[in-house]
Chains A and B, each alone.
Chain A
Amino acid sequence: MATQLRLTAVCAPSDDVVAREIEGEIIIVPLASGIGDADDELFTLNETGKAIWQLLDGKRTLQDVSRELSAEFEFPAGEIERDVLGLVEELLKRRILVEVSGT
C-alpha cells in the first residue's frame, strides 16, 4: 500500500529531470524513461504550480511551503495544503520530485 504523503515531508527535484525557468515558465525535461508517457514528453506548470515548485528545495517541509504560499496568495492554509499535497503527489508519482525526508 502506498504511504500517504504528509505535510512534514521534504521534497526536491529528482536527478532524473532537468528543470529551468525559461521566459517565465518552468520547463521540466525528463532524463530517464518512464517519467512521461512517451519518451519525448516535457512538462510545464501553471503559475501556481510554478510558485509551489520554486519552494520545493529539499529544505522546506510541505507545511512550510503551504504557509509561505498562504501568506503570499492570502488563501486559507487548509486549502493551500490540499493543493500542495495534490501537486506534489502527482510529481512524486511521475518521479519528477523525490521525497528527501519526513514520511
Chain B
Amino acid sequence: MKSQGLNPSLFVRKGGELPLSGSALLELLRAVLDKGKPFRFRAKGSSMSPFVKDGDIITVSHLSGLSPRLGDVVAYVCAETGTLVVHRVVGRMGNCFLIWGDNAEGRDPVPEANVLGRVTRVERNGKDVSLCLGPERFLIAFLRRRELSWKTAHLLWRIMRPMYHWIQGLA
C-alpha cells in the first residue's frame, strides 16, 4: 500500500547536468574547492571556443598552493560582475593575472585571490577534449596577448608540433 506520509525522496543527478545559475554555481564550486576536491559542471558560452564549447562538462580542481601557469585555463571570479568565468592565463601584471578568453575580446586583470581553481578536464559528448595545456599553451598565451586569434596559435602549433616531438624523442 502506498504510504500516506511525506514520501521524502533522494534523487541522483549526473554531475554537470544540474542547471545552475552563475551565483549558485559559484557558491557550490567554492564550497567543494575549499574541501580540496574537484568539481564538474556544464560550461556556458563560447568565449573559450574551440577548447571549451557551450555545453561541455568541465572539471575545475583546487590550485593546491600552486599559482596558475602561463597558458593554464582557470576559473575565477570577475571583480566587476562577481560572476564565475573560465578563461586562459595570458600573462602577469604585478599581483594580478592577465586572463583572456581564447575566443573573446578584452583582458581582465584578475587579483590572484580571485582565481579559484584550474580547469583539469573538458568532456564533450562523453569524450575528453584537449585543452592544449602542453608546451603549446605558451604559444597560445603569447599570441593571445598580442591579440592574435587562437586559430593562428593553433595553426602555428600544428606546424611546430612534429619538430617538438622530434626534439623530445632525441632527449
Interface set of A (CB-CB < 8 Å, partner B): 18, 20, 22-23, 27, 29, 31, 36-46, 48-49, 51-52, 69, 73, 75, 79-80, 82-84, 86-87, 90-91, 94, 96
Quick check: is B24 within 8 A (CB to CB) of the other chain?
yes
CA of A45 to CA of B20, assembled, Å: 16
Q: Which residue of B lies closest to A79 (CB)?
A: B5
Quick check: is B94 within 8 A (CB to CB) of the other chain?
no
Choose among A41, A43, A82 the residue that contacts B5 (Cβ–Cβ < 8 A). A82
Quick check: is B13 within 8 A (CB to CB) of the other chain?
yes
Given known pairs A18-B31, A22-B20, A23-B21, the reply for A37 and B6 (CB within 8 Å) is: no
The reply to whether B24 and A40 form a contact with Cβ atoms under 8 Å apart is no
Binds A, one of B32-40, B136-144, B152-160: B32-40
The reply to whether B6 and A51 form a contact with Cβ atoms under 8 Å apart is yes
Please name all residues of chain B whose beta carbon is closer than 8 Å to the beta carbon of A41 when the two chains form the complex.
Answer: 12-15
Given known pairs A42-B18, A45-B10, the reply for A29 and B39 (CB within 8 Å) is: yes
CA of A18 to CA of B37, assembled, Å: 10
Given known pairs A36-B12, A43-B12, the reply for A20 and B28 (CB within 8 Å) is: yes
